[in-house]
């Protein structure tokens, strides 16, 4: 998606060969025009897949996921990283964050997903695939179907894509990075930009 | 706002005289049609106030704040409750949560707000006004103007409204609850629904 890739090149900051900072437009300050276009693109990409709900993880994925859900006309659910005091019947899964080098518990209200729901997972990044695996496990517990994954930025040298493909889940990636460094910038992986 | 109030009556759960659970449509599962209407209402309400950015706090406020920012055509910033590893130059404030009975640190990247920015604060609830005070302090540190506050649900017996009014900040409330209980339901405070 050219609009996203141009914004990454203009406003993203490559902190190291593995860390891209996108806080100016994607996961802290939100470029609303870009986010609306991203939501429309994911909605178009997964039209015809019978999606009944969109899911993401707080808080980096909420903006692209909400715009996708708005364009698809379905509800959005965001899984939470801490159990709210008002959550009475949660489902849980433990997820490892390689970025933060720690485990965290992902949870959601059991009643929010029904058996047979066809759920689209949207996230800002795909790297090690742990968030994807966590969501897949949460949905399995509720006999719902993970019907697709829409990712804004993929780090294609990390195992996330392989994990999604091995699960046979349709994957749509808007910007796929083959490699990056502060000195040499970004090399795109055009083969993976399937959306 | 009738659409929000009808949804509260239909899907909200009154857990106690002070706790209203709205996870079915507002802050865990998001009713996207309702959220789009809420964003449009806030955008209409604050049209002509010269708003340059919308701000909220992760993660309950992100959905109504994003839809407001989309309808206003301005960026959204969400202040974070933990400092990300990639945040290099944050501004901080300590906020007390009466709901959780604990203090937390609110932070944001210094560069995201410029002096003179006119910022609209959007949140899901107004109760004790501590989130509002935290955002006001963060913006003051950056010489930006808090130009308005848009609140989905106000608990009007708590001190939040007084704090906003004493700060002389324009306030728009979509649903104002005078009192509530599991047995007797909700009594609305129609005088406070100014939007």
- Whether the per-residue pLDDT at A184 is higher than 80: the answer is yes
Q: Report the pLDDT value the prediction gives residue B30, as an integer from 0 to 100.
A: 98
Cβ-based contacts of B86 with chain A (< 8 Å):
15, 19, 21, 23
Q: How confident is the model over B143-180, as pLDDT tens digits?
A: 999 999 999 999 999 999 999 999 999 999 999 999 99
Question: Pseudo-torsion of CA B146, B152, B156, B159, nearest 10°?
Answer: -30
Q: Do A36 and B73 touch (CB under 8 A)?
A: no
Q: What is the mean pLDDT of residues B27-46?
A: 97
Q: Report the pLDDT value the prediction gives residue B31, as an integer from 0 to 100.
A: 98
Measure CA B132 to chain center. Answer: 8
Residues 6+ apart with CB under 8 A from B170: B46, B49, B147, B148, B149
Interface of B with A in 1-20 (CB under 8 A): 15, 19
- Whether the per-residue pLDDT at B195 is higher than 80: the answer is no
Q: Report the pLDDT value the prediction gives residue A10, as an integer from 0 to 100.
A: 98
CA distances from B133 to A173, B96, B112, B128 (A): 40, 10, 19, 10
Report the predicted TM-score, pTM, of the whole model to 2 decimal places. 0.96
- Whether the per-residue pLDDT at B84 is higher than 90: the answer is no
- Whether the per-residue pLDDT at A73 is higher than 80: the answer is yes
The first and second tokens of residue A79, run together, are: 């899984």
Q: Do A63 and B67 touch (CB under 8 A)?
A: no
Q: What is the mean pLDDT of residues B184-192?
A: 95
- Whether the per-residue pLDDT at B22 is higher than 80: the answer is yes
Q: Report the pLDDT value the prediction gives residue B89, as an integer from 0 to 100.
A: 87
Out of A66, A99, A112, the one facing B66 most closely (by C-beta) is A66
Q: Report the pLDDT value the prediction gives residue B182, as an integer from 0 to 100.
A: 96
Q: Report the pLDDT value the prediction gives residue B41, as an integer from 0 to 100.
A: 98
DSSP calls for A88-140: -SEEEEEEEETTTTEEEEEEEEGGGS-TT-EEEEEEEEESSSHHHHHHHHHHH
**Do residues A155 and A125 lie in contact, with contact meaning Cβ atoms separated by under 8 Å?**
yes
% of chain A at pLDDT higher than 90? 89
Out of A67, A99, A109, the one facing B23 most closely (by C-beta) is A109
Q: What is the mean pLDDT of residues B29-35?
A: 98
Confidence tier at A80 by pLDDT (50, 70, 90): very high
Q: What is the mean pLDDT of residues B46-50?
A: 97
Tell me how close the Cα of A169 comes to any Cα of chain B, in angstroms.
23
Q: Are strands B90-97 and A118-126 parallel, antiparallel or unpaired?
A: unpaired
Give which of A93, A157, A156 is closest to A130, Cα–Cα: A93
Q: How confident is the model over A137-152, as pLDDT tens digits?
A: 999 999 999 999 999 9
- Whether the per-residue pLDDT at B99 is higher than 80: the answer is no
Give which of B178, B141, B148 is closest to B165, Cα–Cα: B148
Sign of the Cα torsion B37, A63, A90, B20 reads negative
Out of B29, B35, B75, the one facing A112 most closely (by C-beta) is B29
Out of A29, A84, A111, the one facing B75 most closely (by C-beta) is A29
Cβ-based contacts of B99 with chain A (< 8 Å):
85
**Do residues B85 and B107 lie in contact, with contact meaning Cβ atoms separated by under 8 Å?**
no
Q: What is the mean pLDDT of residues B131-141?
A: 96
- Whether the per-residue pLDDT at A175 is higher than 90: the answer is yes
Q: How confident is the model over A104-143, as pLDDT tens digits?
A: 899 999 999 999 999 999 999 999 999 999 999 999 999 9
Q: Report the pLDDT value the prediction gives residue A177, as an integer from 0 to 100.
A: 98
Q: Does A34 touch chain B (CB under 8 A)?
A: no
Q: Report the pLDDT value the prediction gives residue A86, as an integer from 0 to 100.
A: 82
Maximum C-alpha span of chain B: 50
Q: Report the pLDDT value the prediction gives residue B111, as an integer from 0 to 100.
A: 93
């Amino acid at each position: 998606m050219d609009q996203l890739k141009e914004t990454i090149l203009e406003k993203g900051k490559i902190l190291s060969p593995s860390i891209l900072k996108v806080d100016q437009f994607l996961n802290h300050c939100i470029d609303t025009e870009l986010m609306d276009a991203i939501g429309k693109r994911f909605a178009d990409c997964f039209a015809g897949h019978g999606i009944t709900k969109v899911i993401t993880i707080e808080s980096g994925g909420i903006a692209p996921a909400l715009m996708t859900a708005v364009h698809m006309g379905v509800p959005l659910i965001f899984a939470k990283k801490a159990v709210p005091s008002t959550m009475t019947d949660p489902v849980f899964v433990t997820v490892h964050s390689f970025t933060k080098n720690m485990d965290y518990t992902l949870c959601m209200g059991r009643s929010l997903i029904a058996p047979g729901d066809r759920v689209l997972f949207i996230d800002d990044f795909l790297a090690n695939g742990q968030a994807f695996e966590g969501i897949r496990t949460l949905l399995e517990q509720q006999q719902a179907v993970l019907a697709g994954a829409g990712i804004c930025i993929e780090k294609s040298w990390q195992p996330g894509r392989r994990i999604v493909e091995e699960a046979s889940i349709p994957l749509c990636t808007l910007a796929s990075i083959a490699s990056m460094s502060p000195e040499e910038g970004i090399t795109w992986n055009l083969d993976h930009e399937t959306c």
